[in-house]
Amino acid sequence: MSAPDRGDRLLLAGPHTRRRELWLVLRAVRDFISGFRALHFSGPCITVFGSARYDASHEYYALAREVGRAIAETGFTVMTGGGPGLMEAANRGAREAGGRSVGCNIELPMEQMPNPYLDRTVSCRYFFVRKVLLFKYSYAFVALPGGFGTLDELFEALTLIQTRKIASFPIVLLGVSYWRPLQELLQRLAAAGTIDQGDLDLMLITDDVAAGVEHIRHHVAHRFGVTSTPRRAFPVLGERPARIVS
């Protein structure tokens, strides 16, 4: 893995020489190209966000596993950040259901390794590249309990939808009691006029996995006409689809 000053930290460290700036741009482009090639044939994805800190003994791990299984049963690909915890659980659920499971891992100084339940993974040097990949291939987003990273990804999705940079894809937050403080904060923002009241309707907050996944399936299929069929890959170009476990 990269040292902490060789990725985002170096890129964001202010102006460099022209030569180094070009080198940094080319490294980011390489990340994008690797990601595009790896994920292009994974099929339409539903991205699951969640904490890396919960292990298999935690109730949220079981919840994430159920989510991954339910998404896979709709025929869509489960995409996560590729790491441990709830990301692993969602990928595991997809794998156990015989569905497609992919991840966008991030290279960190603490050696975050891809979880073992991925049919395909891409490891990104830069956080911003990883976030682009997580959104580029997804038609819905599920947020499970998590910390700064999960909140960052959730608010990225909300901002992209609010500003119409992406379509109004469904967002489901699972864990009513966990997300209640956030819901109350957003209601205060709406009351203060810093967001629109209608922005609160961008999310469905529920404890019911089946209801959340059905909400996604209905909106994705009916509003956007998206099916779960992956694109055709051409082996002669070194392309291959994400496998479906039999």
pLDDT tens profile 68-105: 999 999 999 999 999 999 999 999 999 999 999 999 99
Does residue 75 form part of some domain? yes
Round the average pLDDT of the chain to a whole number and report it. Answer: 88
Quick check: 144 and 171 in contact, CB under 8 A? Answer: no
Mean pLDDT of 184-213: 96
Alpha-carbon distance 232 to 246, whole Å?
Answer: 19
Which domain range does residue 69 map to? 8-228
66, 100 contact by CB (below 8 A): no
Residue 238 domain flag: no
Number of domains observed in the structure of the chain: 1
User: How do residues 106-117 score in pLDDT, each as one tens digit?
Assistant: 887 665 789 999
Q: Is residue 237 situated within a structural domain?
A: no
Q: Is residue 3 part of a domain?
A: no
Answer whether residue 189 is part of any domain.
yes
| 43 pLDDT tier (thresholds 50, 70, 90) | confident
- The helix/strand/coil state of 241 is coil
